[in-house]
Amino acid sequence: MTAPRIRPRDRDAIVQSLRAGVVPRIGQQHIQVGRANEVGALIQDLDRLADGGATSRFVIGEYGSGKTFFLQLIRSIALEKRLVTVHADLAPDRRLHATGGQARSLYAELMRNTATRAKPEGGALGAVVERFVTQALTTARERAVSPETIIREHLAELSELVGGYDFAEVIAAYWRGHDTGNEQLKVDAVRWLRGEFATRTDARAALGVRTIIDDAGFYDHLKLLSRFVLLAGYSGLLVCLDEMVNLYKLTSSQARSANYEQILRIVNDSLQGSAAHLGFLFGGTPEFLMDTRRGLYSYEALQSRLAENTFAAGGLVDFSGPVLRLTNLTQEDFYVLLTKLRHVFATGEQSAYLLPDEALTAFMTHCSERIGDTYFRTPRNTIKEFLNLLSVLEHNPLADWRSLLGTVQIAEDTDLEAEALGADDELADFRL
């Protein structure tokens, strides 16, 4: 097998992200190891999505096990399959359901991170809308009718959906802007779609519509968007929501329930096939799923839908259910990962490798001595230090890796935030 070539742009994105302790947004395939079955299952989901299906999956793993990496990897594959993707981390001020603007804020964050194959790093919503217009122009030419006819047909389709009337009006405004060379109108239309209008008055003045995308419209607008991207020539919409544990951390049980109810709507729609070309990936920790007091399992309807196949135990697995457990990386996976990192660092040039194979095993031994023999299970810090080591070698060609290795400090990966969730939080439930 010949090793793949690496584009300098991918190389830099990967190295910079990992050294900063974050998951890269592009190029994940160059460093992906293990989890062939999990990836295979999700590729099937994506194909189903493109075929008109709806899917939702809960990617569950411990802190540091690779949830974010997995979500970003699947997102990249989705882009290759001509889906549009949006992604965001949940946070105290970014939720699926709220009344104080937090759901709109999650929506706006998703829209900022709209990506397509041509713009994998985000900021693609404007380009998607523009593509809707050019697509309509092409169709009009093919069918020898006026562009207005096609646009009107498409807008009629959108207006049928919940919240679709104003959505269609906004697209019509964009089209007018396109047709008459009014750039401001186009900018305002995209701003509206991005959930960036804060008041109805402003939206009305700019676009003549009476509504804005607000907390209550969160899910309906994602459904609208999934229909819209189809009209723009893409095959569907994948929504990735990470750090779902933030819902588990909500102190108000009412707020938690309202958010879990929103998740139930999404899960029901995908199980019953009442959404189309729309997929959801949720990333969360085991307590977010299983805690019967505050997790998804505290919401009975979700517990029954998400209960795992009881036959899939004792080493047997089932990748067809809505819950996908990420098993930890193995020691062999970790070794392969080091070889891939070395390869990426050298921009795919074997002759530029900075370390021999024996240094990789020595590095692993070093990690094991420093932080214990399960060091490969949560590899964030070890990856970071490995890249730091490569960087020192790159800038100091005369340095010897053996003497450097002894100086490499490695801290264990720990979830400081979870530890901060202290005992007085137990009482917080009563403090609605």
Give the footprint of ligand ADP on this chain (CB under 6 A): 18, 23, 31-35, 61, 63-69, 337, 379-380, 383
Q: What are the φ/ψ torsions at residue 314 (nearest 5 degrees)?
A: 55, 45
What minimum distance in Å lies between the beta carbon of 384 and ligand ADP? 7
283 strand-pairing partners: 59
Q: In the bound complex, what is the minimum distance in angstroms from residue 69's beta carbon to ligand ADP?
A: 3
CB of 23 to ligand ADP, least distance (A): 5
Say if CB 176 and CB 185 are below 8 A apart: yes
The closest alpha carbon to 239, from 249, 225, 260, belongs to 225
- The size of the chain, in residues, is 432
Single-letter residue type at 358: E
| Smallest separation, CB 432 to Mg ion (Å) | 29
In the bound state with ligand ADP, the residue whose beta carbon lies nearer, of 196 and 413, is 413
Shorter beta-carbon distance to Mg ion: residue 65 or 226: 65
Partner whose binding site includes residue 177, from ligand ADP, Mg ion, none (CB under 5 to 8 Å by kind): none
Q: How far is the CB of 109 from ligand ADP (least distance, A)?
A: 17
Comparison of 277 and 377: residue with beta carbon closer to Mg ion: 377
Which H helix or E strand runs over 27? none
Closest CB to ligand ADP: residue number:
66
**Which member of 55, 56, 68, 72 binds Mg ion (CB under 5 A)?**
68
In angstroms, the Cα distances linking 299 to 264, 266, 292, 334, 363 are 9, 14, 8, 37, 45
Residue range at the interface with Mg ion (CB under 5 A); choices 14-22, 67-75, 79-87, 132-140: 67-75
Smallest gap from residue 36 Cβ to ligand ADP (A):
10
228 binds, among Mg ion, ligand ADP, none (CB under 5 to 8 A by kind): none
**From ligand ADP, Mg ion, none, which one binds at residue 250 (CB under 5 to 8 Å depending on kind)?**
none
CB-nearest residue to Mg ion = 68
Angle at 111 between CA 110 and CA 117, to 5 degrees: 95
User: Shortest approach of ligand ADP to residue 348 CB, angstroms?
Assistant: 17
Q: Which is nearer to ligand ADP, 63 or 319 (CB)?
A: 63
Residue range at the interface with Mg ion (CB under 5 A); choices 1-9, 31-39, 60-68, 144-152: 60-68
Q: Which is nearer to Mg ion, 68 or 270 (CB)?
A: 68
Cβ atoms < 10 Å from Cβ of 430: 8
Contact of 400 with 365, CB cutoff 8 Å: no
Please name which of 184, 176, 203, 204 lies closest in space to residue 192, comparing C-alpha atoms: 203
Helix, coil or strand: residue 18:
helix
- List Cβ<8 Å contacts ≥24 apart for 257-261: 257/299, 258/97, 258/98, 259/95, 259/96, 259/97, 260/296, 260/298, 260/299, 260/302, 261/97, 261/299
Residue 158: closest CA among 213, 83, 228? 228
Residue 33's binding partner among Mg ion, ligand ADP, none (Cβ under 5 to 8 angstroms by kind) is ligand ADP
C-alpha distances in angstroms, 399 versus 343, 353, 394? 20, 14, 9
Closer to ligand ADP by CB, 18 or 171: give it.
Answer: 18
Give whichever of 151 and 247 is closer to ligand ADP, judged by the CB atom. 247
In the complex with ligand ADP, the residue whose CB is nearer, 61 or 163, is 61
Which partner in Mg ion, ligand ADP, none is near 284 (CB below 5 to 8 A by kind)? Answer: none
Binding site for Mg ion (CB under 5 A): 67-68
